[in-house]
């Protein structure tokens, strides 16, 4: 009988975990773009990229997140 109760509790925790995790991270709903380059992007290139996003209605830090990485 105890094993059945434990199995039910573990199953419920497993089903509720994604709901709790989603409630704790509202930033997960904001679209995220990863920019990976072999060389560091110049400030001019970054600004042109941001301008292109703005033309499509996206503003970095407001309704989209851009993560810049280079090798």
Q: Count CB neighbours of 68 within 10 A.
A: 13
| pLDDT at 15 > cutoff 60 | no
Q: What pLDDT, on a 0 to 100 scale, did the predictor assign at position 27? A: 55
User: In the numeric block, which tokens belong to residue 13?
Assistant: 């925790």
pLDDT of residue 58 exceeding 90:
yes
Name which of 14, 70, 22 is nearest 42 in CA terms.
Answer: 70
What lies within 8 Å, CB to CB, of 54 at 6+ separation is: none
Q: What is the pLDDT of residue 29?
A: 86
Output the pLDDT for position 24.
Answer: 52
Provide mean pLDDT across the span 6-33.
60
Q: Is 56 helix (H, G, I), strand (E, B) or coil?
A: coil
The answer for 67, left when phi > 0, alpha when psi is -120 to 50, beta otherwise, is beta
pLDDT in tens, 26-52: 556 889 999 998 888 889 999 999 999
């Amino acid at each position: 009988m105890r094993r059945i109760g434990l199995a039910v509790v573990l199953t419920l925790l497993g089903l509720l975990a994604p709901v709790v995790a989603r409630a704790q991270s509202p930033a997960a709903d904001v679209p995220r773009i990863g920019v990976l380059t072999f060389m560091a992007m110049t400030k001019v290139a970054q600004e042109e990229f941001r301008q292109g996003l703005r033309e499509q209605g996206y503003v970095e830090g407001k309704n989209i997140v851009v993560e810049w990485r280079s090798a």
